Amino acid sequence: MQENNSSSPMRGIPISVLDLAPIVEGGTAAESFRNTLDLARHAEKWGYLRYWLAEHHNMPGIASSATSLMIGHVAAGTSTIRVGSGGIMLPNHAPLVIAEQFGTLATMYPGRIDLGLGRAPGSDQSTARALRRGLASGGDDFPELVEELRGYLAPPPVDGPNPVRAIPGEGLDIPIWLLGSSGFSAQLAGRLGLPFAFASHFAPDYILPALELYRSQFQPSETLDRPHVMIGLNIVAAETDEEAQVLATSQQQQFLNLIRGRTTKLKPPVHSMDALWSLQEKAYVQNMLRYSIVGSRGTIQEKLPHFLDQTGADELIVAANIYDHQARLRSYQIFSELMRDL
């Protein structure tokens, strides 16, 4: 790896935060930005290794659309935690622009910036067109875009300058991760010898085949000598199972609205979802969120080892879409304490 995980004070597997900078019902993007920085500062204190922000567009409940700017906001307000993208949707951007943006971030905050790359649009098709994304490719040109980006970040050739250079960016050691929810990026990450992050927190169906594909296809590189996997996992932790189950209904409502074709701000929790969804919708949402652990310390301690054994994860990145900011902080704190005690 390009970074040393020993900086994390936790014993065992490193854990990180995945933040969509949620805008809650009744709240604003400005409040979301303040909450993101507050969570990042707490996560740094609690020993989380990374703080990643995800690119999404045209979603009223997600404020992290300008992902590079959000990374700079978090990095400026913290001191040691690694900050990065989970991920930048590369087909939305010219690789040169991303190389320049992350070259700037890595120059400002040396040794602390991660660049996670995805191939999905992070939006609907109309928004993808507004982003000037080439829809015809369907993401099939992602390998070429990754190679172009890596070329801009590589050291200059000894036999003369590149015709197009990323300044800053050229020659900087910025860790690149490939993100995915299927086998496409898994196979590419293995072939390139890059670390791979799987989005099981919202796409559980292909996790085990994708991990097997990544590991079987892996070729050692200057970046890695063996496969390295980070797995996304939903964690909602509270003092009791009952409290955690209520907090988790905000995320359930978010996914319910997604399958109904509606995007909304993050809604307050409810004591029961029975009146909000049909049996078919309940089954669909529960399947999408089946890589979630919701409950007290004891429940998480009971369920987490099976997930780790099943996936062989080298790292975990935790999503917690919780309406109340203090409850969200508490969830991440409980999980960090639990991991230190394992």
Judge whether 183 and 206 are in contact, CB under 8 Å: yes
pLDDT digits (tens, 9 = 90+) for 262-321: 889 999 999 999 999 999 999 999 999 999 999 999 999 999 999 999 999 999 999 999
pLDDT digits (tens, 9 = 90+) for 138-166: 567 899 999 999 999 999 877 766 689 99
Residue 138: left (phi > 0), alpha (psi -120 to 50), or beta? left
**76 or 203, higher pLDDT:** 76
Judge whether 204 and 288 are in contact, CB under 8 Å: yes
Question: Domains (ranges, CATH) in the chain?
Answer: 5-237+312-341 (3.20.20.30)
pLDDT (0 to 100) of residue 248? 98
The answer on pLDDT for 171 being more than 60 is yes
Residues of the chain above pLDDT 70, percent = 92
How confident is residue 341, by pLDDT bands cut at 50, 70 and 90? confident
Beta-bridged to residue 326, according to DSSP, are none
Residues of the chain above pLDDT 90, percent = 80
Judge whether 311 and 211 are in contact, CB under 8 Å: yes
| Strand ranges, E, within the chain | 15-19, 50-53, 82-89, 113-118, 176-180, 196-198, 229-237, 292-295, 315-319
pLDDT (0 to 100) of residue 311? 93
Judge whether 188 and 146 are in contact, CB under 8 Å: yes
- The mean predicted confidence, pLDDT, of the chain is 91
pLDDT (0 to 100) of residue 250? 97
Residue carrying the six token digits 């993401």: 139
pLDDT (0 to 100) of residue 6? 37
Rounded to two decimals, the pTM is: 0.93
The answer on pLDDT for 324 being more than 60 is yes
pLDDT digits (tens, 9 = 90+) for 5-26: 434 334 589 999 999 999 999 9
The secondary structure of 311-333 as a DSSP string is H--SEEEEE---SSHHHHHHHHH
The answer on pLDDT for 208 being more than 80 is yes
Beta-bridged to residue 230, according to DSSP, are 197, 315
**Mean pLDDT, to the nearest integer, of 323-332?**
98
The answer on pLDDT for 213 being more than 90 is yes
Q: What amino acid occupies position 13?
A: I
**Mean pLDDT, to the nearest integer, of 82-100?**
95
What CA–CA distance (Å, rounded) separates 138 from 142? 9
How confident is residue 1, by pLDDT bands cut at 50, 70 and 90? very low
The answer on pLDDT for 33 being more than 90 is yes
Judge whether 192 and 225 are in contact, CB under 8 Å: no
The answer on pLDDT for 125 being more than 80 is no
